Amino acid sequence: MPELPEVETVRRTLEHLVLGKRIDRVTILYEKIIQTDLLDFEKINGQVIHEIKRMGKHLIFMLDHDVLLIHLRMEGRFFYKKEHQEIKKHEHVIIHFSDHDILTYHDVRKFGTMHLIPKDKYLDEGPLKLLGPEPSSLTEDELYHKVHIRKTEIKAILLDQHVISGLGNIYVDETLFRAKIHPTRKGNELSLEEVTRILYAAREVLLKAISLGGTTIRTFEAMDGVHGRFQNELLVHTKEGEPCPVCGNLIIKMKVKGRGTYVCETCQI
């Protein structure tokens, strides 16, 4: 699944391709991806893309009057091509520009979503309304208060986008390893010092991953042919049975709230 660094890489790639372009029309081949009434969605026609932002794992296309909000979910990605080029299987939404270039949204699992929301309401309506702040926007005390009231596992807390946004399975594993915190520890049992370690580790992991274009595992690509390199920096995630890079004991895989989780039970306590 694309996480914050992967989505940021997509955002930066798209900026070079579509800023300033006028949307001529949109062809929708799989309607369930569009979360806005289809007639209202037609308001996108004729609008110009002025800026592309990101909040958590959401892409935000700033248009003339509206915001196109996109969540890639498990396997969403984009292809940029000329209008005459073949539309392939699983390309479900096609944005046609006035210069005859197109941007297609490709999603094998069809889990991605698109909302068209008025520009003055996009922070108060739709998916962003309850989205938590990113690690870079949180103080140690703020995260501690969010975590300390929860009696569930710290991994589950960090995956909750209402608590803190942008972290997914890969980066939570890497964060907790660097912070030396076991993923099954309960939030209400963690000290301020431990939560501070988690916050600093999350920032470090995300910044490093962004600088390397994200992590390419399984099918993720930022755009056609654009792959991240952070998978070469992973310390525990996917490393089951390999020696811990710190202590040399074997990394194990367990389930935490149904999510595959990689941990060194010597270093993480």
**Domain harbouring 149, CATH code:** 1.10.8.50
Domain boundary among 77, 98, 128: 128
- The tens-digit pLDDT sequence of the chain (269 residues) is 578 888 898 999 899 999 999 999 999 999 999 999 999 999 999 999 999 999 999 999 999 999 999 999 988 999 999 999 999 999 999 999 999 999 999 999 999 999 999 999 999 988 999 999 999 999 999 999 999 999 999 999 999 999 999 899 999 999 999 999 999 999 999 999 999 999 999 999 999 888 886 655 444 445 555 555 667 789 999 999 999 999 999 999 999 999 999 999 999 99
Contact present, 103 and 17 (Cβ < 8 Å): yes
Is residue 183 part of the annotated active site? The answer reads: no
Residue written as token pair 């392939």: 88
Which of 3, 91, 134, 153 is flagged as catalytic? 3
Is residue 57 part of the annotated active site? The answer reads: yes
Q: How many domains does the chain have?
A: 2
Tokens standing for 62?
């700033």
- Could you tell me which of 2, 117, 135, 3 has the C-alpha nearest to residue 62? 117
Give me the half-sphere count of Cα atoms (radius 13 Å) on the Cβ side of residue 27: 12
DSSP 107: -
Residues 166 and 243 in one domain: yes
Is residue 2 part of the annotated active site? The answer reads: yes
Q: Is residue 35 part of a domain?
A: yes
Say if pTM beats, i.e. exceeds, 0.85.
Answer: yes
Which of 5, 6, 8, 57 is flagged as catalytic? 57
Is residue 259 part of the annotated active site? The answer reads: yes
Domain boundary among 104, 128, 152: 128
**Residue 193 — φ and ψ, nearest 5°?**
-65, -40
Which of 185, 186, 259, 265 is flagged as catalytic? 259
Structural domain boundaries enclosing 139: 135-263
Instruction: For residue 103, list its beta bridge partners.
Output: 80, 95
Q: Is residue 269 part of a domain?
A: no
Tokens standing for 80?
């940029």
Domain boundary among 128, 162, 196: 128
